[in-house]
Structures are given as C-alpha cells and as structure tokens.
C-alpha cells in the first residue's frame, strides 16, 4: 500500500479516455485500489479515479458521507465503494446545478449541471456486476468521478464561469453569489464538495 501522487489539471493523463479493465479480479487491480484507498484517505477526499493517480484505467473509489444526505430518498449515503468499469444511465432528463471541487483542481470550485437521477453499474473486485439507483449529491459524486474516466474535469461541464473561483472567496461571498444567480438554498457551497476534503 502506498500514497500516490495526485495529477493536477494540466497533466495529460487527466484528458485521456481510460482503458477498460479486462479482468477485474487481476491482483494488479487490487493493488492499485489499495493504493488509491491510501491516497484518498491521505487527501481526506470522498472520491478518486485512477487517472488522478496517473493510471489510465476505468477504476473509481468513492463514498457519500451521512452529512451529504439529501432530502430525496435516493440521495443516500454510500459506504466506500470500489467500482471497476462503471457505467451511468440517466433515468430522466432532469438536471440540477450545484457546487463541485476536485482533488486535481485544488483550491477552486464551480457550479456544474448534472443529472438528478441515475442508475449506475460496475464490476466488483470479485468480478460480479452490481448496480444502484441514486439521486442528488450521491448521483453527482458518481457522475463527477466517472467523468474522470472519459478525460473530463468538472470545469469542462460548466456553462456559467461566473460560478467558478477560489473556494475560500466563494464561501466568503456566498450570500451575494446565491442572490445574484438565483441558486436554491440547498446549493450552498462548503469546502467538502464532491471530491475535495
Ligand atoms: Ni475530481
């Protein structure tokens, strides 16, 4: 087990389409996931994708803390989940705008439109296929992490760059920001959004 270096925006590994894992039970994948778990814990994050540790493979780890639990009954906390070859299917066209941050884009945050309701599936380390339905923050976290596997960082999903900036400053000016953009009360930023600790 080892703490790996996290790639930051500007490193080409973050822009590549990651490779499908042919054999999820390969011990090398278990080793990679062990190192990713150490790295996530060290960074105090809630999600990490393999390209963020310079490995262009379709592997994601994440959890949803109780504190992020939303009102929607499918916006549930999630225990630490290891996903190999994850696939997302939106369950409706409904989207919502909320804040995200990323361990590969330190200090910054931005508001991103995401699907509100999704189904997602993945291979486990034992080689089984599992699936879940999720909404709200839980669904957002999965979409953010899986975007890393397609070479996308959250800023490329943004449409309003006045909702992009230093987390410290956005948090300081949040009332003005919310009023100016008609954001819902629920869309309140804090420093523990989506990925960053
Ligand atoms: Ni990220």
Provide the token pair at 4.
């790996």
Distance 130 CA to ligand 1 centre (A): 23
Counting every residue, how long is the chain? 197
Which pLDDT score, from 0 to 100, does residue 123 have?
A: 98
Task: Look at residue 190 in the predicted model and tell me its pLDDT.
Answer: 47
The tokens describing 112, both together, are 């991103």
Q: Which tokens hold the place of 86?
A: 């994850």
Q: What is the SS3 assignment for 40?
A: helix
- What predicted TM-score, i.e. pTM, was given to this entire model? 0.91
Told to judge if 145 belongs to the known catalytic residues of this protein, a careful annotator would answer yes
Distance 24 CA to ligand 1 centre (A): 22
Q: Are 29 and 21 in contact (CB under 8 A)?
A: yes
End-to-end CA distance of the chain: give it in Å, rounded: 21
Query: How far is ligand 1, taken at its centre, from the CA of residue 64, in Å?
Result: 14
Q: Which residue is catalytic, options 28, 79, 131, 145?
A: 145
pLDDT (0 to 100) of residue 124: 98
- pLDDT on residue 172: 83
Tens-level pLDDT at each residue, the chain (197 residues): 799 999 999 999 999 999 999 999 999 999 999 999 999 999 999 999 999 999 999 999 999 988 776 777 788 888 999 999 999 999 999 999 988 999 999 999 999 999 999 999 999 999 999 999 999 999 999 999 999 999 999 999 999 999 999 988 888 887 777 666 666 555 555 444 556 54
CA atoms in the 13 A half-sphere facing the CB of 98: 26
Q: How far is the CA of 195 from the centre of ligand 1 (A)?
A: 6
Supply the pLDDT for residue 65.
86
Distance, CA of 135 to CA of 148 (rounded, Å): 19
Give the distance (Å) from ligand 1 centre to CA of residue 49.
7
Instruction: List CB-based neighbours of ion ligand 1 within 5 Å.
Output: 102, 195
Q: Parallel, antiparallel, or unpaired for β 117-123 and 129-135?
A: antiparallel
Strands 78-90 and 129-135: unpaired
Return the structure tokens found at 177: 């920001």
Residues 137 and 128: their CA atoms lie apart, in Å, by 26
Question: What letter would DSSP give residue 45?
Answer: -
């Amino acid at each position: 087990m080892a703490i790996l270096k996290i790639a930051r925006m500007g490193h080409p590994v973050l822009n590549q389409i990651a490779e499908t894992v042919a054999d999820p039970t390969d011990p090398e994948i278990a080793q990679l996931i062990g190192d990713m778990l150490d790295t996530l814990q060290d960074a105090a994050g809630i999600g990490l994708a393999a390209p963020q540790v310079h490995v262009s493979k379709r592997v994601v780890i994440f959890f949803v803390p109780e504190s992020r639990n939303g009102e929607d009954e499918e916006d549930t906390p999630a225990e630490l989940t290891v996903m190999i070859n994850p696939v997302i299917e939106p369950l409706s066209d409904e989207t919502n705008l909320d804040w995200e941050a990323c361990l590969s884009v330190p200090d910054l945050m931005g508001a991103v439109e995401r699907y509100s309701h999704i189904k997602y599936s993945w291979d486990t380390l034992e080689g089984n296929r599992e699936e879940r339905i999720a909404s709200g923050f839980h669904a957002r976290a999965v979409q953010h992490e899986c975007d890393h596997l397609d070479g996308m960082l959250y800023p490329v999903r943004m449409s309003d760059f006045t909702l992009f900036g230093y987390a410290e400053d956005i948090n300081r000016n949040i009332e003005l920001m919310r009023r100016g953009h008609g954001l819902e009360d629920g869309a309140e930023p804090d420093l523990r959004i989506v990925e960053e600790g």
